[in-house]
Structure 1
Amino acid sequence: MEGIAGKAAKFDGTSGYAKIGQTSGPHINTERSFTVSAWAKLDKKPSGAAVITAQAGQAAPGFELYYSAAYDRWAFNQYSSDSAAATPRYGRCSPTAPLPGRVRTWWACTTPPPTPSPCT
């Protein structure tokens, strides 16, 4: 698929993913300061969360950068622990709701979003 500068990966939104880095353990120490960024383009407004990137855990991800259908904006969550009882300890949303009407547009998504605000 055509990207901002050359080619881009395209996923089906259901089962497709890219795996990079180590084969086990966390890639990022989420107890320290970190930044994750990605370019994303949605073909349609999602009915649920559209995850761009996340650090997988056994029960809860270390973090998620995603489009939230519930808040109608890009969001970032960092969780309290890798357990079934984990809660987001840091959640932020982009200040403006880019969808609907702005699908098929490339978005630069960075953690935390520029001028982060609580998800409300």
Structure 2
Amino acid sequence: MQKIPLPLAEPDMVLEKPVTRENGMILVGQGTVLTESLIARLKNMGIASVVVQGHPLDLDTGGGGTSMGRRGERLEHLFRHVDQDPFMHGIRLFLNDYFTRKGALEGMAPQADDGREG
């Protein structure tokens, strides 16, 4: 079970817990399979997060298991509606550059030091 921010929810994820309003009214039941339209409706209702089955996302901000390249690809999806905003466009470019550079470093394996001088 994993609580994730709604913007990271994807179709075919399954709700582990029902989505409720603050007053406890159930909006979507446990076991429901998320779809694009359902995610959009929840967003319009102001739902911030959902609890899904399993651990579909690595939310560790360290490097934990999600490659930097994958994070860079995710940027395109997350910033898809803000291309007309110069500030947000700049943030996307900055993050894309960061993930690209960090991904290049991930690919470099540390060299073993055998004690010999070059």
TM value normalised by structure 1: 0.20
| Greater share of residues in helix | 2
Structure holding more strand per residue? 1
